[in-house]
Structure 1
Amino acid sequence: MPDRQSVHEVLELLKGQWTVAVLASLALGERQFNDLLADVNLIEEHIGWTSHPRPLTARVLTDTLRRLQGHQLVDRRSNGNQFSAVWYRLTHDGRSLLRALRPLANWARQHRRNSESTTGRASSEP
């Protein structure tokens, strides 16, 4: 039972279709809001929009960052001036979560290959 609850807690942290993309972009280092938005969309464009049907918007990024801040996965900093740039970076827990996701991503790739090979064999049969 404790494992099930823990998995549900992690899934709650990861909800939202852009969460992992934002975390992964922040893994490259601290980013200003507009640079982060551009980075996420550039990566999606580069891979052919296979993960998301349309670009990340500023509003969705704002909501995603606020939720991640609430879970202490992302830090927000500015120098206090209302016209200053705002920077975002992963916290220790945010970096730790990304490290924990790598084995899950590896499992997903392997599962996809297995599914494709099974589907490929099944479709070639009469």
Structure 2
Amino acid sequence: MRSRSPRTSAQVAELEPCGQEGHVDCGIRDVLDRVGDRWSVLVIVELANGTRRFRQLQRAIDGISQRMLTLTVRRLERDGLVERTVYPTVPAQVDYRLTAAGASLTHLVRALADWSLEHRDGIARSREDYDARHPGHDIR
């Protein structure tokens, strides 16, 4: 069993408990449903590098289908995180860029990416340890 080092207040952010009186969901779930899904984060990462056309986004985001990309950018547009511009050409040319609100997410996404890189080896080891202690489990 691994010993855990004590956490300092600098290591753990103090958060108000959600779901208690006056804190019904804290509004977090609705926002995380959008910006926390895999495709939205990848679209935000790509658009952080500048305006992109639909096909550029699709080529840059490995594994995303045309339908899923369409749904993702529409949802992000609806939430005010992405702006869609249609140019009157034949065929129509459409591009996407982050709004100010969307751009304000980029430092958080960068922090999450940095955290992921810093901790991925430890997480992989923890998964291996767990799998060895719990053979035959179906947790993924």
Asked if Structure 1 and Structure 2 have the same fold, meaning a TM-score greater than 0.5 normalized by the shorter chain, the answer is yes
Secondary structure of the structure 2 residue equivalent to 1:22: helix
Judged with a 3 Å threshold, the aligned counterparts in structure 2 of structure 1 residues 83 and 121 are, in CA distance, closer, same or farther, namely closer
State the match for 2:34 in structure 1. 13
Judged with a 3 Å threshold, the aligned counterparts in structure 2 of structure 1 residues 9 and 101 are, in CA distance, closer, same or farther, namely farther
Secondary structure of the structure 2 residue equivalent to 1:88: strand
State the match for 1:89 in structure 2. 97
Identity fraction in percent: 32
State the match for 1:22 in structure 2. 43
**Given the two structures, how large is their TM-score scaled by the length of structure 1?**
0.69
Deviations 1:26-77 (A, max 9, x none): 1111011111111112xxxxxxxxxxxxx21111110111000000110000
Q: Higher helix fraction: Structure 1 or Structure 2?
A: 1
* Gaps in structure 2 of 5+ consecutive residues: 1-17, 133-140
State the match for 2:109 in structure 1. 101
Q: Distance in 2 between matches of 1:111 and 1:7?
A: 24
Q: Which moved more, 1:108-117 or 1:65-74?
A: 108-117
* Gaps in structure 1 of 5+ consecutive residues: 42-54
Larger Rg: 2
Q: Distance in 2 between matches of 1:58 and 1:88?
A: 15
Please list every run of at least 4 consecutive aligned residues from structure 1 whose deviation after the TM superposition is greater than 6 angstroms. Answer: none
Aligned length, in residue pairs = 110
State the match for 1:45 in structure 2. none
Whether the 8 Å CA contact 1:27–1:95 is kept in 2: the answer is yes
Whether the 8 Å CA contact 2:45–2:109 is kept in 1: the answer is no
Comparing both chains, which one has the higher relative contact order based on Cα–Cα distances under 8 Å and sequence gaps of 6 or more?
Answer: 1
Matched, 1:64 2:49: no
How much is the aligned-residue C-alpha RMSD, in angstroms? 2.7
Whether the 8 Å CA contact 1:16–1:64 is kept in 2: the answer is no
Deviations 1:74-123 (A, max 9, x none): 00002344633101011111111121223233334444333334566786
